[in-house]
Structure 1
């Protein structure tokens, strides 16, 4: 399976805001945005006004990178969102937020989505009492996500819980009990409840061409 293997901090600099791809580092003065808040490359200091297509492209690239996807997978999610009833932007975000890797991260059991994927692939996560090692597994209302009892002391989980003190984890669609290393995916979130740092309408316009 194809995956991005280059520098993660470069992605945040390209989009111009923190996407919290590096976990702990993003909350310190070592964060690339704090040190070099301009796009990478020799022309990174240029601040040209972006046209409509550039805005659409940057919005799509940013959202894709936040959730750790490549183009083909992200486009598949968009096509499914467009087919479903409701606002395409909200449905797209609900599909992304209901992924298992994202939920493990949002519950505070991993420092970022990349680490959450690693924890899941290595078999440390249970859904409704059964091991699930597919990061893209889609959760439904009432599903219980839990870190296996024998995996609760691994470094990735401990770091995630420590870092959660610096993050705003008030996710109204999740019911989390960190003491028991488990949480419930209560329902699909509404658009106004989610943190959406990009222009969803721009993404819809881009794919609608």
Structure 2
């Protein structure tokens, strides 16, 4: 499967804000965007006037990079969101938030979405008691996600037990059991990812 293999910090600098792709590094003084808050490349520091299309494109790129999707995956998800009842942009964000890898990240079981995707792919979690290894799986209200018994003794998850975890209102977590539950599907106002979804809808509607 295709995946981005370049420098993650370069993506944050290109979008002009932290995308939190490197876990703890993003909160430290080593964060690239804190040290060089301009776009990468030879002309990164040049002032550029952004067109309407450019704004829409950047917002789409930012959303893709926040959630770690490639173009085809993102486009397919948008098309599914457009077919659902309700507001397309909000549907898109909710579908991104309810991906299994994102929910694992939101539960505090991984320091970044990239790490969460890797942990899911390696089969460290169960969904409603069954082993699962598909990061793009869409979770539903009432779903229970738990670290597999065999994985709970690993240094990674022992570290999670010692951490103070803050989770969104639509999720509950029992850190001792390394188990989380999706209480409800998130509403738009409960999603704090800084994305102007209407710009993405405008881009794909052309």
The TM tier, using the shorter chain, reads: over 0.9
Shift of 1:152: 1.8
CA contact (8 A) 2:161 2:176 kept: no
Any idea what the Cα deviations from partners look like across 1:9-50, whole Å, max 9, x if unmatched?
000000000010001100100000111110000100012121
Shift of 1:109: 0.2
Equivalents in 2 of 1:159, 1:35: separation in Å? 29
Aligned in 2, Cα 1:172/1:182: closer, same or farther, shift over 3 Å? same
Equivalents in 2 of 1:158, 1:138: separation in Å? 27
Aligned in 2, Cα 1:37/1:159: closer, same or farther, shift over 3 Å? farther
Aligned counterpart for 1:180 among listed residues 160, 177, 180:
177
Equivalents in 1 of 2:21, 2:191: separation in Å? 18
Other-structure match for 1:82: 82
Gaps of 5+ in 2: none
Other-structure match for 1:3: 3
Aligned pair 1:64/2:61, yes or no?
no
Equivalents in 1 of 2:153, 2:18: separation in Å? 29
Gaps of 5+ in 1: none
Deviating beyond 6 angstroms after TM superposition, the runs of 4 or more aligned structure 1 residues are none
Aligned in 2, Cα 1:159/1:9: closer, same or farther, shift over 3 Å? farther
Shift of 1:170: 3.6
Other-structure match for 1:101: 101
SS of residue in 2 equivalent to 1:93: helix
Structure 1 residues 9-158: aligned runs within 5 Å: 9-158=9-158
Shift of 1:156: 3.7
Equivalents in 2 of 1:159, 1:93: separation in Å? 30
Shift of 1:176: 1.0
Equivalents in 2 of 1:136, 1:159: separation in Å? 25
CA contact (8 A) 2:93 2:197 kept: no
Aligned in 2, Cα 1:158/1:44: closer, same or farther, shift over 3 Å? farther
CA contact (8 A) 1:59 1:203 kept: yes
Aligned in 2, Cα 1:158/1:70: closer, same or farther, shift over 3 Å? farther
Aligned in 2, Cα 1:158/1:90: closer, same or farther, shift over 3 Å? farther
Other-structure match for 1:196: 193
